[in-house]
Chain A
Amino acid sequence: MTAQNAILIALALPLVGALGIALAGRISANLRETVTLVTAGGLAYTVWQVVPYVMDGGRPGVTLAEVLPGISIAFTVEPLGMLFAALASGLWIINSIYSIGYMRGNNEKNQTRFYVMFAVSLAATMGIAFAGNLFTLFLCYEILTLATYPLVSHKGDAATVRSARVYLGILLATSIGLFLPAIIWTYSVAGTGDFVLGGILAGKLEGPAVGLLLALFVFGIGKAAVMPVHRWLPAAMVAPTPVSALLHAVAVVKAGVFTVTKVIVYIFGVDNLFGAVGSGWLLYAAAFTIIAASVVALRQQNLKRLLAYSTVAQLSYVVMAAAILKPLAEIGAAIHIVAHAFGKITLFFAAGAIYVAAKKTELWQLKGIGYRMPITMTAFTIGAISMIGVPPTAGFVSKWYILAGAFQADNYVAIMTIILSTALNAAYFLPIIYMAWFMRETEPPAKPHGEAPWPAVLALALTALLTLAFFFFNGPVLELERQVVAGMS
């Protein structure tokens, strides 16, 4: 298959799959889950077909339609998008396996709608990853917001709908109120919104306007959860755990930081932004978010909310790394997207498994749970130490590159932030690990339980292994992302 065809298939396959899931859902649950898995597998296979082209320096692209003169729906694959698409499509397979265990284990209602909207969300994610210009990216970004809404409000009771409204309200308000004006501004200044290495705004926008436009982008891309537009992410935790795991640890939030990175690299241009006045604030905003979110996480009692605030902090790692504006840090930003994805999806899988098996959601309930659910808690431990950044896990690799980039720029704010937040990460994850393994249950559970259903356990074991494996086998990813920083000073 040619790269162009692969792109089109990757965009269409999840949508076709969604239709298939909807039809299969009327026949039997087993058939529906089979269709989901086949679609996920097919999507990952298709996306991986594009990798060799991009590795060789190719930038395959297709233009679907020209909406207005100069504004078209076009897709172009470049290294950042390639990485994001490969990551999301690959993890969808594992997440689908996990979903089967979780949704059946919990006897959730409306499962067909769940799987259908999940597939639609993945289609939108592929669109974001492959988008060739700002307009296309915005289109897919909004579709993703709308498609995830039914997933977040899945439970359907009043409290859930309230949270889902916060989720939708913040994401739509920031995207329409800030992101869209930024896009329009870009188009009117540069005459184009295409992603071009080195930036399209070079020499066209100067002075404080650069800082203002950057602010519109960063806060408009609410999915990147830079404070103060992070509140939707804790609100989204009312969703079933597979949604939190794949969408609110990988696809949706990574779409946000991915977009921010892409805007910095391809719209502003890293070198142009480095010298510009009024762009330095982004680093401080991200650093503040990292520290503040970590402190908030420290005070959480609910496991999923803790993970949500940890995600807010980790997302700003990516934004901060991108804002250091040095080659090694940009690589670090890209790698952190992957590293955090592996670690955080493992943590969410574990949290969901605990909920399915033991119906426990609060931290104090987790005493001694390591003995009842050894595999789950081992995976949880691996995910947690990856978040802290201890070798041999994925988190270490990305932190290494971000730190190296910070030293390259002699940026001591970034260095201090990373050191401080590492300490904070340790402060909120280690007590959980300690409780799970080294304390005794205060009272026996109402019903003795072991591990969660096997598909869930299989999925979380796989992602934990990936977290470890990435420490050793990260060469191809590095090679891919080096292309982004080629020619940078």
Chain B
Amino acid sequence: MDILGIYHYWVFAILLMIGFYAVIAKLNLIKKLIGLSLFQAAVFLLYITMGNVEGASAPIFGYGAETFSNPLPQVLILTAIVVGISTMALGLGLVVRIKEEYGSIEEDEIQEMDRR
């Protein structure tokens, strides 16, 4: 198996790392959330691509197709997307509240204010 043949795993890994990097390295809370979102999206891709069978159709019987892709990962990821959206909404809500209370959404500035 050549190393580029499974390129979608590379996409998954690179996207995951970009997101993870943003979560850790960015001080802006919104950017952190964007990173988190990328991080989750990468995992969605992992699931969706693993279910696909090359040349197969959607699992609907009676239209002449011989091979079917596995629909279950898509169903799972539908749920995971909902979870991701909820997390994002809650995270953004928190950022709004933080902005109201601290007047900033930079992590270092907030820490500085709390130290005082």
A touches B in complex, CB < 8 A: no
By a beta-carbon cutoff of 8 Å, the part of chain A in contact with chain B is none
By a beta-carbon cutoff of 8 Å, the part of chain B in contact with chain A is none
